[in-house]
């Protein structure tokens, strides 16, 4: 993650039947940057994220991470990209540790617990607690930990601060800022202006393509632009 890397997304298209959801999506970002993707409901934000994270196939286009084209070789995606969906993806009956073990080996987890990402997220405080007993904020941190413990170069987040209280949001933003500073590339969708403080680049997804937007703190102007 320390090496300077870039991502380049070009000409991504996706249609559901006759409905063209993404027509020509293109953007780029480099290590240490956060790209925020905004858009109204049904604008195709989740479709775009699911294509970039390898969940869904695009009808066309490319997604380069450095020299590697990821959409043609989707098997490479899990090695470089971590994805966190909006709802928590945790197994309720298992402890936080068992959930982490599903994604990572013991050595990685021990290393990250001893001063790494997991320590930063404060996972060690509830490592043995069953997920069903965790609060919303703890669940979100654990979900992030599952995606981040192996320190992927790209982190894709679908509305990371949705349904969290202010303190939890602050924690998450602090953690994601640290990830950026460590050289990670962050892609996120959001409806929350608080998340925009994290973004180096804001893009509005409208009528199937991305348009740059400079957020100046005016929410009404943003709403009009959407």
Partner 1 sequence: MRRMAGYFLAQLKRVCRLLPLQTGIGLAICSCVGILAAVLVTQGAGEGQQRYRIGLVGDVSGSYLGFGFAALQTVDDSRLMIELVEMTETEAEAALARGELTAVVRVPDDFLDAIIYGGNDTRVTYSADAGQTQLGYTVMGEIADVASTLVTASQSAIYGMQRVLYDNGSADRVGSETDKLNLMLINLVLSRSGFSEVELLGYAEGLSLEAYYVCRIVLLLPLLAGLSGGVFFLSRKSALARMLKAGGVGALSQVAGEYLAYLFFLCAGFFLPVCLLAQGLERELFSLPEWEGMGAAPFLALLPAFFSAAAMFAALQFFLYEVADGIVNGLMLQLLVGVGMAYLAGYFYPSAFFPQRLRSVGGFLPAGAAARLVESGFWERDARGAGAAVIVWLAAFLFLAAVVRQRRILKG
Q: According to CB under 8 A, which one of 26, 94, 182, 225 is a site residue for partner 1?
A: 94
Q: According to CB under 8 A, which one of 69, 92, 165, 207 is a site residue for partner 1?
A: 92
Nearer to partner 1, 92 or 200 (CB): 92
Q: How many residues bind partner 1 (CB under 8 A)?
A: 30
Q: According to CB under 8 A, which one of 15, 30, 40, 56 is a site residue for partner 1?
A: 56
The CA dihedral of 150, 152, 158, 164, to the nearest 10 degrees, is 50
CB-CB neighbours of 100 under 10 Å: 23
Nearer to partner 1, 161 or 202 (CB): 161
Query: What's the min distance (Å) between Cβ of 98 and partner 1?
Result: 5
Residue showing tokens 């970039």 = 52
Query: What's the min distance (Å) between Cβ of 224 and partner 1?
Result: 30
- Asked if 78 touches partner 1 (CB under 8 A), the answer is yes
Query: What's the min distance (Å) between Cβ of 187 and partner 1?
Result: 12
Binding mask 128-157 for partner 1 (x = CB under 8 A): ----x-------------xx--------x-
- Asked if 112 touches partner 1 (CB under 8 A), the answer is no
Query: What's the min distance (Å) between Cβ of 1 and partner 1?
Result: 18
Nearer to partner 1, 33 or 50 (CB): 50
Q: Tell me the pairing of strands 201-206 and 185-189.
A: unpaired
- Asked if 66 touches partner 1 (CB under 8 A), the answer is no
DSSP codes, the chain: --S--EEEEEEEEEEETTEEEEEEEEEEEETT-EEEEE--TTSSHHHHHHHHTTSS--SEEEEEETTEETTT-GGGHHHHEEEE-SS----TTSBHHHHHHHHS-HHHHHHHHTTSHHHHHTGGGGTTSBGGG--HHHHHHHHHHHHHTT--SEEEEESTTTT--HHHHHHHHHHHHHHHHTT-EEEEE-S-HHHHTT-SEEEEEETTEEEEE---S-HHHHHHH-
Nearer to partner 1, 88 or 195 (CB): 88
Query: What's the min distance (Å) between Cβ of 168 and partner 1?
Result: 18
| Contact residues: partner 1, CB under 8 A | 50, 53-56, 75, 77-78, 81, 83-94, 98-99, 101-103, 132, 146-147, 156
């Amino acid at each position: 993650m320390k090496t300077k890397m870039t991502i380049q997304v070009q000409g991504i298209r996706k249609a559901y039947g006759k409905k063209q959801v993404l027509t020509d999506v293109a953007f780029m970002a480099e290590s240490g940057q956060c790209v925020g993707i905004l858009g109204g409901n049904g604008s195709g934000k989740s479709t775009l994220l699911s294509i970039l994270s390898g969940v869904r196939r695009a009808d066309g286009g490319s997604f380069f991470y450095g020299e590697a084209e990821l959409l043609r070789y989707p098997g490479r995606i899990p090695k470089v990209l971590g994805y966190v969906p909006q709802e928590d993806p945790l197994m309720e009956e298992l402890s936080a540790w068992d959930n982490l073990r599903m994604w990572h080996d013991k050595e990685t987890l021990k290393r990250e617990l001893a001063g790494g990402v997991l320590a930063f997220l404060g996972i060690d405080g509830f490592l043995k607690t069953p997920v069903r007993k965790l609060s919303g904020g703890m669940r979100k941190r654990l979900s992030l930990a599952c995606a981040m413990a192996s320190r992927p170069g790209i982190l894709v987040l679908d509305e990371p601060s949705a349904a969290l209280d202010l303190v939890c949001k602050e924690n998450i933003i602090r953690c994601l800022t640290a990830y950026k500073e460590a050289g990670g590339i962050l892609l996120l969708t959001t409806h929350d202006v608080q998340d925009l403080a994290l973004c180096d680049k804001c893009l509005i997804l409208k009528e199937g393509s991305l348009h740059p937007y400079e957020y100046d703190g005016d929410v009404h102007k943003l709403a009009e632009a959407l």
